[in-house]
Each structure stands twice: as structure tokens, then as C-alpha cells.
Structure 1
Amino acid sequence: MSEPEMDGAAATAVVDSMVRGTQATMDLHAVNQQGVLVRVRSLLPEFTGALRRVAEQVLTDPAAASRATIVELAERSGTSPATVTRFCRALGFDGYADLRLGIAAETGRARSAGWTVDIGREIQPSDPLERVLGQIMAADTRAMHDTAELLDLAEVERAAVAIAAAPRVNIFGASGSALVGEEMQFSLHRIGVPAWAWTDVHNGLASAALSRPGDVALGISHSGETGETIELLAEASSRGATTIALTSFPRSPLAELADITLVTATQATTFRPDALSARHPQLVVLDLLYVAVAQRTHERSHAAFQRTAQAVHGHKAAKDGSTT
């Protein structure tokens, strides 16, 4: 037997709230453009109970979901057809037929793209490295494609314009996100953008407190729930800085706080949970942002590249092994 579902009024209230948020930002065409499975993954943390079981069933075997009737999907997820209908509404679809068509189109694109490795399969300790490499490559490739579908290029444009004009850019992140932030700081520094990456909370807060209108603060967190990063971004925001969030969850506390949100997708594997698998998509988005900033500061960036290249030239080894 399936677990008891929430009563009708409570379920309707939850779904109506999610539908209002969904329909405020996208219509059915936009859902299809973004990718149904990407949308399901991004909303998964917000689903509870029966709705979450439907979402997990769709993500576990999307090809089967695209062929199943509404009754079959309800049985496989241990729910009811009414719950599946509410799930469709939460994604912005009018009914189950539209959901099936969206999933079928996406799984068809995946097959035609040559994603033959089952990235949902568990990587076993005894798997040969060839198999492990295939799993990682498939997961990263899918994450890149999903990120490209999720990413709002208008938001990237806004972020690039803000950074290009900023007197100061503060970058905040913890753990793996800190490494990604340092990479961005290095890239911006090479084109003459005054940027600092902070991993220590005290130093970061001191820098955030000195922010002024026109400055930019970039917070990086896969979950969007890292307390230190949220605190740092909030402090910079309170001083008038333009705030940017890079996260996999567009409704997370960090995203809600930010003026601009850049969203990434992930594909976890057994030995690389979401937080680790998020790193490559994060780097792709930040690389795009960096190039967009360089485009908008072309003359300054070109001059900076020439000066920095000349400065370090004497420390490069010559082809014959000697130094110049």
C-alpha cells in the first residue's frame, strides 16, 4: 500500500503556491525549452510526500514515465492519479499528456545526442576505470547541457554589465565553492577588474561592510543554503552592492537574497555527490560571465593581457631549457 497522502485542501494549497511561482516566470513553451527533467530536478527539494515520490519516479526512469499512463505512473510511485495531476500542474503543465510529451521529447534528444552511458547506474568499487571515466563524462556532459537550458542569458548579461562597471568585486564561497570563486577572481584580475575572493568569514565581512553602491558581490553555493555565504552577501547588499548568486536552486535563501541569480544543473554519481558534481557547471557559467565582462571592457582587457603577459614573460622557460 502507498503511504497516506496529504489531505486535498493542504495538497491544493501547496501546489497552488508552486504554480503561482512557476507561472509568474514561465509558460508551457518556456518549460519545454528549459527541459522537463531539468525543471523536476531543480524543484525536487521543494516537493514533499507524494509529490516527491512522483518526481523521483520520473527522474529514476524518464523513458518509462514517457510511455506510462497516468494510472501506471501513480502505481509505480505509490501515489494516485490525482497526485500525478497535481505534479503536472506544479511543473506548469495543463495535464498529464503534456508532461508525457515533454519527457518523451527530452529523452529522445538525449538518445540522439549519443548519451549511451546510464549515468543513473551506481558506480561500483570494482568498476574498471574505463567505465568510471564514461560515467563521469556522461554525467558532466549532461550537466553542461542542462545548465545551458536552465541559464537565463539575460541574467548573465545583467551580471556582466554590473561587473564591468564595478569599482570592486567581492566573491564569496566556502569549501568547493571557494575554489571556484578563486578561479573567477584570477580571471577577472587578469583583465584589470578589481576582484577579491574571500573564504574567511571575518575578512569577508570586513570587505562586505566596506561595499558601496556600484560594487558587486558574487556568492557561490550549490545548495544556496551555506550560512556564511548568505551572511556575506547580505552584508554587501545592505551596503548597496549589486548581488549575484550562483546556485543550483533558484528558490534557495541565497537566490532569494540576490539581485541576479545564475542557475546551474548537476548530475551526481556514486562517488561525486551534488556539491562536487556542481563544480564543472559552475566553472562553465563563470567562464561565460568572464568572457561577457571581457567583451564589454575589450580595450581595457586587451591592454591588461599585454601588460601581464610581458610582466611574466621573463619567468617562462625557453624551448632549449634556458630562461630569458
Structure 2
Amino acid sequence: MNEGAVAAPADRVLDLFQGVRLTPTQRRIAHCLVQHAPGVAYLSAAEVAELAGVSQPSVTRFAVALGHDGYPALRRRLRDLTGSTPGGSTDAGNELQQAVRAEMGNLDRLAGQLADRDRIAETGRLLAESRPLPVLGLRAAAPLAAYFAYFAAKVHPDVRVLDDGGSLLTDRLEQAAEAGASAVLAFVLPRYPRETLDALRDARHAGLTVVAITDSPVSPATEHADVVLAAAVGAQLVFDLHTAPMTLAMVLLQAICDAAPADTQRRLEAFEASAARRQLFLG
């Protein structure tokens, strides 16, 4: 987050979980609270349980795990953190303007996370060294995987897009590992296809290091990934907005380029020469 900026409700809710070891069920509840901030501060324990797909006692145990006497105390804390009121505010304009401004907030939070350049640089080196480099994205995440892979193929000698599920997906992960792959980049976005999470488990079993771009530090991907890079998804419109995850993907591609600058320059020059020879572009 930029210096001087006011933390968004989702960020303040996330701070509740820092340093707390959560079970998979508790991570689902935590993710639900983040995803629905600030309105979740006015939901009952039963309503939170329904949203998260867990039992009501699980919500109570979750509140206790965070150091509260019960869910009512946690709800009061959530109201304090989010500064929310029933019905919300209309100061940000109409619903379309609010959706766009929410994306601006997501990008601003991502910019703040990127202050730690070493982590991105290390992840870029990890992916640059994987030959081949499998890139996984199913359902809504498939276009992001394809977009990333299109440009990554210009600077990496062997990028393999994995955008179809089914039994063949495990075959392709194992084949990539057999061919020398050491890591896989996975896009894991809501609503978190079961096949994607199964594929992350299979990738680990095949000996691959899993790097996941997902929407939250408490998303289901954290159970199966070695490196988690989070960028929030916009949920104000009928279908999700993936502006921040797409931006994070291209930042990571920059880190891959920076990990091997000489090879990157050579490959880009070779492509430009080929494009000019074939007159691929008008401009």
C-alpha cells in the first residue's frame, strides 16, 4: 500500500490472521471474511457458516482461535476494523464507478506488496530456471494462463499451457517433470475449481515447486503451494474482475526476464528479426 494511504477493509481484516496457524476449515472462514468485508461484520455466525460452507460451531471455534470469547466478540472487532455500517456508503458513485474504484484499490494494495522486490525476484529466478515451464489455469483462470504464456514464450524456450482438466492433466504435469521441469506456475482464482487444487497436489507429488497466483493469502491454494502471490479479485460486478492478478502475472514475467537478461535480449531480438522478415505486424 502506498505510504499515507488508508488501509482497505479487506486488508484490515487480513491483519487479524497474521501469525495465527489456521486449519483448512478456518482458512475457508478467514477467506470468507476477507472476501465479504466490510458487510460480513453484520452477519450472524450461521450466515457466515453458510457463506463459507462450514458448520456454525466451526465459526465459533474460529473466533476463539483468534483470541475472542466467541463470535459476537469477533463481529464487534470486525465492525471496529472495517468502520462499516449496514447498507454501506454511496459516496463512491454508482455501482459501476464503485467497481472500477475497487479495482484501483486492489492495484494500490498490490503496489504496496511489491515493495519487497527480493521475493518477486527470487520467484522469477525459480520459474526462469524451470525447463520446461508449465503454466496452469483452469476455467476462469485459463485466459490469464494463456496471456501470461503468450508473452513468456518470447523469452523462455519451453512454456507449456495447461488449461484443460481431466485425467490428462496429471499426465502432462508428470511429463513436464520428466522433461526437466522444476516448477509450475498456477493461477488459482475463485471459485477455485476442485481440479485445480487436485492438480497442485499432483504437481507436488511429481516433484515440482508450486508457485500460485491467487486472490488472497488465505485462499485454498495456500494448502498446496510452495510460493503464494496474492492479488485481490474484484467481485462488484456479475463476473469477477481479474485486473490485479493479471498485473501481478506480468510483474512476475518481468522478474523472469530480469533473472536472465542476456538470454531475454537474445530471444527478443531473434523474434523481432523473424517478425520483420515475415511482416507480421503493420506497425
TM bucket, shorter chain? 0.5 to 0.7
TM-score by length of 2: 0.68
Which residue identity lines up with residue 166 of structure 1 in the other structure? S
Aligned position for 2:250: 287
- Any stretches of 5+ residues in structure 1 without a counterpart? 1-31, 62-72, 105-115, 124-131, 320-324
**Aligned sequence identity (%):** 15
Aligned position for 2:136: 172
Q: Distance in 2 between matches of 1:223 and 1:141?
A: 19
Query: Is the radius of gyration larger for structure 1 or structure 2?
Result: 1
TM-score by length of 1: 0.60
Q: 1:33 to 1:235 in 2, by over 3 A?
A: farther
Q: 1:215 to 1:37 in 2, by over 3 A?
A: same
Q: Distance in 1 between matches of 2:181 and 2:6?
A: 34
Higher relative contact order (CA 8 A, sep 6+): 2
Note if contact 2:136-2:186 (Cα within 8 Å) is conserved in structure 1.
yes
Which residue identity lines up with residue 234 of structure 1 in the other structure? R
Note if contact 2:132-2:158 (Cα within 8 Å) is conserved in structure 1.
yes
Give 3-state SS (helix, strand or coil) of 2:153's partner.
helix
The reply on whether 1:253 has 2:228 as its aligned counterpart is: no
Residue from 101, 105, 108 that aligns with 1:142: 105
Note if contact 2:133-2:158 (Cα within 8 Å) is conserved in structure 1.
yes
The reply on whether 1:230 has 2:209 as its aligned counterpart is: no
Aligned position for 2:10: 37
Q: Distance in 1 between matches of 2:243 and 2:218?
A: 21
Give 3-state SS (helix, strand or coil) of 1:190's partner.
coil
Q: 1:153 to 1:142 in 2, by over 3 A?
A: same
Q: Distance in 1 between matches of 2:188 and 2:168?
A: 18
Q: 1:209 to 1:271 in 2, by over 3 A?
A: same
Q: Distance in 2 between matches of 1:237 and 1:78?
A: 38
Q: 1:100 to 1:136 in 2, by over 3 A?
A: closer
The alpha-carbon deviation at position 317 of structure 1 amounts to 5.5
Q: 1:89 to 1:147 in 2, by over 3 A?
A: farther
- Any stretches of 5+ residues in structure 2 without a counterpart? 18-26, 46-59, 69-73, 84-90
Aligned position for 1:312: 275
Structure-to-structure mapping, 1:84-233, within 5 angstroms: 117-118=92-93, 123=95, 132=96, 134-150=97-113, 153-201=117-165, 202-210=167-175, 211-212=177-178, 215-223=182-190, 225-233=192-200
Q: 1:236 to 1:216 in 2, by over 3 A?
A: same
Which residue identity lines up with residue 221 of structure 2 in the other structure? L
Q: Distance in 2 between matches of 1:190 and 1:317?
A: 16
Aligned position for 2:38: 59
